[in-house]
Structure 1
Amino acid sequence: MKTVACVGAGVIGGGWVAHFLARGMRVVAWDPAPDAEEKLRRLVDAAWPALTELGLADHASKDNLSIAKTLAEATADAEFVQESAPEKLELKQKLLADIDDVTPPHVVIASSTSGYGMTEMQVAAKNPDRLVVGHPFNPPYLIPLVEVVGGKLTRRSAVEQAADFYRGTGKTVIVMEREVPGFIANRLQEAMWREALHMVANGEATVEQIDLSITDGPGLRWPVHGPLLTFHLAGGEGGMAHMLDHFGPSLKSPWTRLDAPELTKHLRDSVVQGCLAEADGRSIEDLVEQRDRAIIAIQRAVRDNHA
């Protein structure tokens, strides 16, 4: 795909614009705010040094950005549409319906929503089968993850088209099998956020202590293996199976205000098999060696960045 329409040019929409431009695409942006173009071009200018350091695609240029005067003009030649309007459900419903009305019928339309399900957003569209969620993380031009999921009226091929498109731009894509409010990463972030607020409110920890507990603790391991594979290593040679069998009872301990699920055999086996599948043949020793090398590299990078 060579031409992308970005509807909404705020922080997220502007981040998408910068990302697509860096991948050598032509971007047509539309935003009703009177100062939208000025802010958008300033955002792209600010992002460009980082994108240049990461590596620009052939023909990547800020000159490939044009600003449309109308929504119809923005989507007229689009091969993919990325909507990034404010998180207001009625606004999303109407805007997606309006985009659907003026966009060529074969084009997939994706929403950057951070919490709404597509099922509740696609209700006013005449062609809801091509509407999907393409949930990015801020800033979209640096953070690779995109969560993709359709609504009840979305055709499977639209979800697959969106996922393929994002992968083609260098994104890491999670295709969700079902809608969950907040998707995956936001739910995990939200759980930590709420527990942090409880600890501050109760005088159990300071803001600095909470941040330090992650940046100099488990946060160093997560870029390498994520939280579940990290616990897989905590089980030693027995892996996740030993971890769950040994520490499973601690799920009943008051270590969080969240209620823990019952550790049924099905849940245990699902987590164990999931870790083995993710390890993909790598032994515990292999994973430990990979983790240690990566953590050293991360610590050095952080130290050098603070120097």
Structure 2
Amino acid sequence: MPDAASKTIAVVGTGTVGASWAALFLACGHDVAATDPAPDAETRLRAFVERARPQLAALGHTGDGALRFVADVEQAVATADFVQENAPEDENLKRGLLARIDAAAPPHAIVAASTSALLRSRIVAECHTPRRHIVAHPFNPPHLLPLVEILGEDDDVVARACAFYRSLGRHPIVLRKETPGHIANRLTAALYREAVSLVEQGVASVADIDAALCQGPGLRWAIMGPHLTYHLGGGAGGIRGYLDHLGPSQERRWASLGTPRLTEDVKAAIAAGVEDETKGASMAELEAWRDRLLVDILRLKQSG
């Protein structure tokens, strides 16, 4: 099981999430055996790792693990201490892939599946040793954002996985029961539902709805979550004082929240609004801007 010493990590699937994981593992001094069936996957992976290297160095991750790209899943996991699976969000695909990994990986290896909404109980259904399989859902890009949502059936496996992710500078949280979307995606889905509803109702432009979040509560949310935020909002009475005094106003707002549908008109309005907001910037330019600011925020939090 990986610790501070260099170990071999298998990265199965090297798209956006898998490449980001690989960059982090390498920068923390672990060796990586990666595999992905897509054309030019190795070239894209190595290019991503090189782009991520200075970002990770700025955050104190200056290790230099060895990267090798192999042809198939069995070869990638054959000597792995830890497996990070990042295949597309397709239940049948993941179920079969995890069964292959389970059959080929060493007995001591933990297998961590990245899924944003699939249920662990379903994707490990064909594995002979499901107890060593966990869901480890990151927030994109995982080489920068610390959150990893963990769900497993064996407390020891979960504890070992959490210790490993903490050694990478990640912040693992443990789910006590499975639910579609885990925690973070359910929270963001609730927020996005209301953002879409505001567009649907014509309350404000897409740019102003985005600004209302990132120029206001989003700044606080980089420091504390909703419960602690409202705890401070309760003044001397804390969270109990807030709930007793302002809880009814929360319930009135909940009752007024929208239930929008993504009709063609709504999708067109959102797309036009985003196009206006981004002012012609390319995806690469937007990603670089996002990642540069994320590094600045993370460095500030490290010093706090």
TM norm. shorter chain > 0.5: yes
**In 1, Cα distance between equivalents of 2:169 and 2:258:** 35
One-letter identity of the residue aligned with 2:116: S
What is aligned with 1:100? 102
The structural deviation recorded for 1:258 is 6.7
Cα distance, 1:258–1:164 mapped onto 2, change above 3 Å: farther
- Name segments (4+ residues, structure 1) moved above 4 Å: none
**In 2, Cα distance between equivalents of 1:104 and 1:193:** 41
One-letter identity of the residue aligned with 1:200: V
1:167-196 per-position Cα deviation (integer Å, ceiling 9, x unaligned)? 121110101111111011111000011110
**In 2, Cα distance between equivalents of 1:234 and 1:246:** 11
Query: Is 2:249 the partner of 1:253?
Result: no
What is aligned with 1:89? 91
Matches within 5 A, 1:13-32: 13-32=18-37
Q: CA RMSD in A?
A: 1.7
For structure 1, the 5+ residue unaligned runs are 260-296, 302-307
**In 2, Cα distance between equivalents of 1:252 and 1:207:** 26
What is aligned with 1:159? 158
- Greater CA deviation, 6-15 or 66-75? 66-75
Matches within 5 A, 1:1-307: 1=2, 2-57=7-62, 60-61=63-64, 64-150=66-152, 154-255=153-254, 256-257=256-257
One-letter identity of the residue aligned with 1:44: V
1:227-254 per-position Cα deviation (integer Å, ceiling 9, x unaligned)? 2111111111111111000011123314
Cα distance, 1:254–1:175 mapped onto 2, change above 3 Å: closer
The structural deviation recorded for 1:115 is 0.9
**In 1, Cα distance between equivalents of 2:113 and 2:58:** 28
**In 1, Cα distance between equivalents of 2:179 and 2:30:** 32
**In 1, Cα distance between equivalents of 2:214 and 2:250:** 24
The structural deviation recorded for 1:103 is 0.5
**In 2, Cα distance between equivalents of 1:156 and 1:122:** 17
One-letter identity of the residue aligned with 2:110: V
Secondary structure at 1:27 match in 2: strand
1:2-61 per-position Cα deviation (integer Å, ceiling 9, x unaligned)? 11000000000000000100101101101111211011111111111111111224xx22
For structure 2, the 5+ residue unaligned runs are 260-295
Q: TM-score, normalised by structure 1?
A: 0.80
Contact 2:197-2:258 at 8 Å conserved across structures: no
What is aligned with 1:263? none
Q: TM-score, normalised by structure 2?
A: 0.81
One-letter identity of the residue aligned with 2:241: H
**In 2, Cα distance between equivalents of 1:45 and 1:73:** 24
Secondary structure at 1:104 match in 2: coil
**In 2, Cα distance between equivalents of 1:32 and 1:119:** 26
**In 2, Cα distance between equivalents of 1:37 and 1:105:** 28
Contact 2:86-2:115 at 8 Å conserved across structures: yes
**In 1, Cα distance between equivalents of 2:101 and 2:11:** 11
Sequence identity (%): 47
Cα distance, 1:202–1:258 mapped onto 2, change above 3 Å: closer
**In 1, Cα distance between equivalents of 2:239 and 2:155:** 33
The structural deviation recorded for 1:106 is 1.7
One-letter identity of the residue aligned with 2:51: A
**In 1, Cα distance between equivalents of 2:59 and 2:88:** 29
**In 1, Cα distance between equivalents of 2:89 and 2:230:** 35
Query: How many residues of Structure 1 are paired with residues of Structure 2 in the alignment?
Result: 256
The structural deviation recorded for 1:72 is 1.6
One-letter identity of the residue aligned with 1:23: C
